[in-house]
Structures are given as structure tokens and as C-alpha cells.
Amino acid sequence: MEEKFSQDSSKAYVSLQRALTVELERLKSLTAAFHLIDNLTQAEFNNFSQVLMTTNPDIVALKWIEVVPKNQRFLFEAEMKNLYGEKFAIKTNQGSRNAVATINDRYAVVKYVFPFEKNAQAIGRDSFSNEAQRQALYLSDITQSSFATSPQSIVQQKGDDKVVIIYHPVYSKSEKLKGYTALILNLNNFLSSVKTNSLLEKSLGLYLTDLEKNRVPFAGSGPEYLVEELLFRSYEFYLPFAGRNWLFNTEVNLKALPDYQKFEHTSIKKKWAFGIVFSFLFSLAMFLIVRARLQVVEANNTLKKQEKYYHDLIDYSSEAFYLFNCQGDILDVNAEACNLLGYTRESLLSLNINQIDVNYSSVELKDICKDLLFDKKVLFETQHKTMSEKVIPVEISASKFKINNENVIGAFVRDLTDRKTVKAISLDNDLLQRAIEERTQELDGQKRAFETI
């Protein structure tokens, strides 16, 4: 039963996602009509809307909301009086109030609505005068995408049902905001239709909650169950939609599932066998748990021995060792590093590697860390500054690995001072030898010239 409920819940979630995506595409199709036709008439709007609503009668309305600047209000109202009569005026959109809108910088006025008869009260209402609608309109314009309101009560919707209004911005060819297309959904009816059309399990309770408002569902469909019931089960799915964050919840009492009676009848016959099997499995599980714990203890002891072995290798190494992260923070050093640089261990652990390295900036060190491949060594020369401000040449052998999910660099550092000194002396000797040979050849030449004379 648990598996069946899980499958039914997943199917319901996928079906709802698909249905909501279809509604967004429906709204975009209406938006495309306004892009194709600069000044869409009321008749053309009605024709487009009628076609779009044919496949979903649960849509409350489709609307065209025109943005009207303050200096064009008089002309707009005059135009609308030709369509809707002399009493037309831009009205506030706050609940059931029907007052004329006050003077504002601009208005978002419902110019067309379909079907008209059921939604005539929406004509002329200023969506900017409603806080939730104004916020959704603003975000739709800013993101240039579909954006939904929080659950709303609207004048043309009877009863306690909440609706969601989805807006999509429309721009002129000069990229100026002309207005918005809008689609109004009654989510109670919408959930019921999804349940029927997708052949979902009838005993499921489906609920939607707006996470940005509260934890109380604003829409639901199907039977209601008591949480206290022994066989009550529920699933929650995160459902982002048109800029909103919704929670989709499925609920059931397993007794309500059609397969429950068959399952109950079969389970009675198997109860005696279940007891034996359960006892065996319980004993086996206890044995496996004890053995697993012993293996974990043994593995931890082995790991600790390995860690001690590697720490000893580093601590007693004749070369300095630094461990630092990709930000350059020094995480660990050995005693030879302290001897090389003249710092105490505590002082070194408070430094950043770029306070020691004089050749590379912090940005360059970050790039080295980023480019260095895991388990690959890189060998290069640089210069490090000691506590006494002395700069010494060093050779770095570095590799990258992870500790506690953090990328770190382990670097063995060899002092090249002696090598550089020997090399310099050798070079001086070579130059001296070459000069002596050249002088000897010169004297031999002079001697032969004298003997000839």
C-alpha cells in the first residue's frame, strides 16, 4: 500500500506540473497575438480567447490589462466610453469597492476580458491599486516573464474559492511596456480537472499551499483525512510556478485505497509465516549490525594508525612541509618549515601563504590551486621570505587533494640556497678557467711571433 500511494502521489505531482505548464503556454499564445497585432481590437481579443479556452473550461478569465500614463487617462477613458458606455471610469481594485481611482502616475487597467458576461465587473479596474497584483505585475515586468499573484479573492468569483492571476508583459517594438496579458485560474476546480483528466486515484486528497503566505492550503480537491488516523499517509512536493513557491501535498488513509481489501485478506493468511520470518530477519539484522560496528571500529583504528604514520613521515622529513587551502590560509606545517622560516608553529598557522611567497600574488596562487589537477604533482621554483625578512630561493613540489570536502595543497619545500651558491661558485670557476686559457693562448701567440723575429 505504501508503494502504491507513493506511485499515485508521484503521478499526481507530474500531472499537475504538466497541466500548469500548459496554462503558461496558453498565456504566452495570447501574448503572441498582441505582438503580432499592434492594436488588437476587442473582437479580435475575444476570438483569440475563445479558441484558447476551448480546451480548458476551468479558466475563470483571460484579460488584457493596458498600462495608462497619467497624462493619457482622459483619452483612454474617452476611448473606453465608446466600448462600455458613458459611465465608464478607471476604478480602484480593492475587494468589492467600486470607487473611481485617484490620480496616480500610471494605471494598469483591465481593458478586455473573456468571457465578458461573467467577468464584466473587472472592466476598468486598476490592478496597480491592489498590493498583491501590483507586486506581481512589477516582477513580471522586471523579469520579462510570467509571474503569478498570491491567492486572491476577486469580485467576479463567488464563494470562498481563491484564484491565482498569472501575468505576462507585452512590449512595443520600441521595447516600451504596453500592458499585460492575464490568465485567472480557480485552483480548486483546476485540481479537480487534473485529477479527472489524468485518471488519478480518486481517494487521494490534493492540496496546494503558498509557502510565501502561510502553511494553510489555499486550494484542494478530494477527500479529507484525519492526521491522527493510524493509516494516514502524506507526501509533500516542492512546486515552483510562475515566480511563486508552492507546496503540493497528497494525502490518503491507506484503507481508502482500492487494493487495501485485497491486501488485508492476503495478509491474514501470511501472519503466521510473517512472525517466523520476522524473528529470523531480526536475529540476522542484529548479527549484521554487531559485525558492522566491529568493522567500523577496526577501520577507524586502521585509519588512525595510517594518519599517525603519515604525520610522522611529514614531521621527521628533512624538507619543509606546508598544508594550505586555495585561499592561501596555512592549515598545517612541520618542524622543518618553522626552522626554514624562523617562525613558531602558531605564528605560521596565522599567516597566509602570500605573506611568505614573494614571487606570486594571492590571485596567482588561487589560479595555481584551480589549475592544479588532483593527484598530480607540480614542481617549480620561487622565493620565500623568512621572519627576519631574508629572501631565500626554494623549490616547491605541490599536489592537490581533498580534506573534509575542501580542496587543499600539500607542498614540500626545499631550500636552494646552497645549491644556488655552489652553482654560482662553479660558474665563477668556469669563467676564471676560460679567462686563463684565453690569456695562455694569447701569450703563446706572442711568444711564437717573437721567435720568428
- Pairing assessment for the beta strands 106-114 and 391-403 based on DSSP bridges: unpaired
Average pLDDT, the chain: 85
Range in 137-141, 314-318, 416-420, 446-450 the model is least confident about: 446-450
Q: For residue 131, is it within any domain? A: yes
Range in 32-41, 152-161, 316-325 the model is least confident about: 152-161
- CATH number for position 43: 3.30.450.350
pLDDT at residue 360, rounded to an integer: 86
Read off the pLDDT band of 163 (50, 70, 90).
Answer: very high
Helices (H) and strands (E) in the chain, counts: 11, 16
Does the pTM surpass 0.75? The reply is: no
| 114 & 245 share domain | no
Q: Which three cell numbers stand for residue 192?
A: 479537480
The string of pLDDT tens digits covering residues 305-333 is 656 655 766 777 778 999 999 899 999 99
d(CA 155, CA 286): 64
Domains: count for the chain: 4
> Among residues 133, 165, 188, which one ends one of the domains?
188
| 65 & 182 share domain | yes
CB–CB of 139/243 below 8 Å?
A: yes
Domain span including residue 202: 193-256
Read off the pLDDT band of 270 (50, 70, 90).
Answer: low
Walk across the sheet containing 205-210 and list its strands: 219-221, 205-210, 244-253, 232-241
The string of pLDDT tens digits covering residues 105-137 is 999 999 999 999 988 989 999 999 999 999 999
| 138 & 227 share domain | no
CB–CB of 114/46 below 8 Å?
A: yes
Read off the pLDDT band of 427 (50, 70, 90).
Answer: low
d(CA 49, CA 254): 43
Question: Which helix (H) or strand (E) is 343 found in, with range?
Answer: none
CB–CB of 322/411 below 8 Å?
A: yes
CB–CB of 210/244 below 8 Å?
A: yes
The string of pLDDT tens digits covering residues 388-400 is 999 999 999 888 8
Range in 22-31, 243-252, 272-281, 416-425 the model is least confident about: 272-281
Q: For residue 360, is it within any domain? A: yes
| 168 & 302 share domain | no
pLDDT at residue 74, rounded to an integer: 94
* pLDDT surpasses 70 at 402: yes
Closest CA to 66 of 113, 23, 2, 24: 113
d(CA 329, CA 348): 10
Share of the chain above pLDDT 90, in %: 49
| 72 & 135 share domain | yes
- CATH number for position 365: 3.30.450.20
> Among residues 188, 215, 237, which one ends one of the domains?
188
Range in 216-225, 395-404, 423-432 the model is least confident about: 423-432
d(CA 224, CA 215): 17
Closest CA to 157 of 130, 125, 131, 186: 186
| 287 & 362 share domain | no
| 71 & 152 share domain | yes
| 115 & 163 share domain | yes
CB–CB of 169/32 below 8 Å?
A: no
| 222 & 287 share domain | no
